[in-house]
Amino acid sequence: MLRNKKPIIILFFCLFLLLIVSVSAIFYYTLEQDKAHSSLEKAIKRQHRAILLADQLRQSSDDLTRMVRSYAVTGEEKYKEAFYQILDIRAGKAKRPLRYGQIYWDFKLVDPEYGKDAVELASLESLMAPLGLTPAEKQLLAKAESRSNDLAKLEEISIHAMQGLFRDNEGQFTVTAEPDRRLARQILFSPGYFEAKREIMTPINQFMIMLDKRTSQEVEAAQAEIDQNLKWQSLFSYLLILCAPLIFVLSIRYQKISASGLVESEERFKSLSEASYGGVIIHDQGKILDCNQGLADMTGFTMNELVDMDGLKLIAPGSLDKVLHNIRSGYDQRYEVEGVRKDGTVYPLSIQGKNIQYKGETVRVIEFRDITEIKEVENKLKRSEAEHRAMIENIHDVIAIIDRNGINQFKSQNISKWFGWQPEDVIGRSTWENVHAEDVESTQAIFAKMIEEPGKINTGECRYRCLDGTYRWIEFTAVNCLNNPLIEGILLTYRDISERKKMFREQRRSAQLAALGTVAAGVAHEINNPIQGIMNLATLIERNPENTDRIIDCSARIIAESKRIANLTKDLLYYSKDDSSQLIVSDIEELISGALGLITSKLNGKGVFVETSYAENLPHIAVQPQGLQQVIINLVDNAFDAICDKALSDNNKVIRIDVEVTKLKQEPYLLIEVHDQGTGMTSDVIERAKEAFFSTKPSRQGTGLGLSIVNDIVASHNGFLDIESRPGEYTKISVYLPTEQNKH
């Protein structure tokens, strides 16, 4: 009997399912059809509105030209007033008239009362915001508006010329003179003016072409979707017509054999319950009618003991009310309670009940599952989570996760300790909101590069805004974990390094002042020689005031010696400035020459000379000039000490400086090498050479900050330092600085 019934049931449900699918699909594609039509209408409306607003931008530029030229020709104030009103309406500073998108100024100039029904303050840019323009389209309109605003500034010059106002040295219209109508007309009808108009209209024309292409594609896509929906509607309508009569025939056949299938259904239920991994009971009003072996194994009772038992005896007293309520309400979802075994032990239990037909009666079947092991795993996970959370909350660094767009997904609680924010204040917001405006571009560049390299560790520094509005320096380490399913973001740790930054600035200034002391004696000697020469030349002039040739010769030599003194003092003053934060695009050769000029006397006094070699076409790069000069002075001074500490012949008392451009990982770097044949360094000394306050000299001869300061200055330029040395033979220190195009 079951063999006869099963194929019918399967076929019936397949056809019924197909019927439901067909009806649902017809309904779905009908809705999709409406949505496609709606999308088509919206695309056309957006296109129309965007074209109108773009035309308003074009028209506003033409209106500005018309008004300023009319003012230049007639001198009537209404044209000047209209000129500035057009600018204010476009910028959203004045209310936009209701019919401003139509023909407006031709009526307004004749009838001043026309267009009094202003709507609201709305710039042209804000009106375009809801139109769904692409970034490229917005950029074109913004470019056109910007160029129109630039042209308006030129037009204002002609307006002020009509009023007799002209620009002073600071660009303000404070100089008064006779009105110059001829100048105003020359400006407004010059070839440059017409070229500026063309520059305004070019992006507007490009916008029209781009908008038409995009919206045409949207219309074509919507129309294609409409056609596809019609095809699917036809297909499922045919299936609906085919399935309905077949279902009717099968339902009649099913009714004839359904009664005979009851016994088989009961037997099948018995088999399924025995195969269950949990316990299964059938009860009526709490009395167990039947159960499986799984329940006996779980509770410790035999199956004979369980049959006719009150099923509530298998439930712990604390859970009885919950179970009784769910039985009475017919609740059929899984829930957790506590069960009790034959030996009295209590254990966690998951049960699910459902009312069914059993032997012609409505009874309730319940599945029991022992979840002791699951609860143990859950408790372990909770303890582990609590331990990790406690570790995160008590760690010194702030831990954060952001997505690929920079949106904060997680912040550890200790962010409040360092910066005042609560985690919920920043989660869901862009992390760039709290990065200092001057640091956003360089920091975003680091993250953009990191997104392309999963798993790579990146470090950097930036200023981070606190809750009170102040900024503090942070050092961050970031790892791309976007592909990690447990994180799915960029993992960050960062700490406050404001005090370290302050200490670095103080150490650097101290080292700079110490270096000034190093060069002071040499500079004084360099200045004293030309001063002595000037005094001698002046004495010669005084003794022979009638000798014109000698006076001319002595004067020229006095001027040359004075320039020499001026150059020395200029280099010294330039080096002594404390301007450690400003980056200036500089000529590296000039900076190095200026630094060497400050210590030449000290070197030459010991017979030490500097040889320099510069590669051709060295690029000018953005550096902090005083910092780079301090790097050169410190490195040369160290080389000088190393040479003096070693007994060398005069031929070996040379410090060589080579400057060239090299490539590391396909990226260009400026390489400065300082090479000496002095005492050299051991590997242990090289490892510690960059540490602050580490020195091999006696305490009275050095602070131990020389190479540490050099390393910090180079690192602040996103560069790095490399030391190569052999004890008793030589030392070569290489400074790598990224060129302008490689610098972040």
Write out the DSSP string of 354-386. Answer: EEEEETTEEEEEEEEEE-HHHHHHHHHHHHHHH
Strands 667-676 and 621-623: unpaired
Q: How far apart are CA 651 and CA 611, in angstroms?
A: 12
Both structure tokens of 404: 């690929």
Tens of pLDDT, residue by residue over 700-712, are 444 445 687 788 8
| Residue 573 pLDDT class (50, 70, 90 cuts) | low
Confidence class of residue 407 from pLDDT cuts 50, 70 and 90?
very high
Spell out the alpha helix ranges (H) of 408-489.
415-419, 423-426, 437-451
pLDDT of residue 700: 43
Distances (CA, A) of 98 to 51, 92, 114, 307: 18, 14, 10, 85
Residue 390: pLDDT band by 50, 70, 90 thresholds?
low
Task: Check residue 248 and give its pLDDT.
Answer: 66
Report the range of poorest mean pLDDT among 33-47, 137-151, 207-221, 590-604: 33-47
Least confident stretch, 78-87, 313-322, 464-473: 78-87
146-155, 212-221, 564-573: segment of lowest average pLDDT? 564-573
pLDDT band at 432 (very low <50, low <70, confident <90, very high): very high
Give me the mean pLDDT over the 353-372 stretch.
80
What average pLDDT does this structure show over 87-106? 78
| Longest CA span, the chain | 147
Per-residue pLDDT band for 523 (boundaries 50, 70, 90) equals: low
Mean pLDDT across the chain: 79
Of the chain, the percentage scoring pLDDT greater than 70 comes to 79
Predicted confidence band of residue 577 (pLDDT cuts 50, 70, 90): low
Confidence (pLDDT) at 704: 43
CA 490/CA 481 separation, integer angstroms: 5
Highest mean pLDDT, choosing among 164-173, 451-460, 632-641, 688-697: 632-641
> 649 versus 527: which is more confidently predicted?
527
CA pair distance 53, 131, nearest whole angstrom: 10
In the structure, what pLDDT confidence band is assigned to residue 6 with cuts at 50, 70 and 90?
Answer: low
Average pLDDT for 268-278: 53
Contact 401, 489 (CB under 8 A): yes
pLDDT value of position 469: 92
Q: Would the pLDDT of 4 be above 90?
A: no
Strand 489-496 versus strand 287-291 pairing type: unpaired
pTM above 0.85, yes or no: no
- Token pair listed for 669: 């770097």
Name all domains of the chain by residue range, CATH numbers in brackets.
2-14+28-227 (no CATH), 273-376 (3.30.450.20), 395-492 (3.30.450.20), 502-742 (3.30.565.10)
- Residue 72 C-alpha from the chain's centroid: 50
**What pLDDT, on the 0 to 100 scale, is given for residue 588?**
92
> Among the listed ranges 51-55, 408-412, 628-632, 739-743, which one has the minimum average pLDDT value?
739-743
Kindly tell me the number of DSSP H helices and DSSP E strands found in the chain.
21, 21
The phi and psi torsions of 314 (rounded to 5 degrees) equal -85, 0
Strand-pair partners of 494: 398, 476
Could you tell me how far CA 317 lies from the centroid of its own chain?
A: 58
- What would the mean pLDDT of 430-459 be, rounded to a whole number? 87
- In this predicted structure, what is the pLDDT of residue 730? 92
- Residue 579: band (very low, low, confident or very high) from pLDDT cuts 50, 70, 90: low
Question: What pLDDT shows up at residue 3?
Answer: 46
**Greater pLDDT, 468 or 646:** 468
Distance CA(386)–CA(391), nearest Å, equals 8
Identify the top-confidence range among 16-20, 541-545, 589-593, 684-688: 589-593
CA atoms within a 13 Å half-sphere pointing along the CA-CB vector of 545:
1
Among candidate residues 245, 315, 255, 263, the one with its CA nearest the CA of residue 286: 315
Cα separation, 675 vs 362, whole angstroms: 98
| The pLDDT value given to residue 427 | 92
Q: What pLDDT does residue 743 have?
A: 47
The pLDDT value given to residue 498: 83
What pLDDT does 738 receive? 92
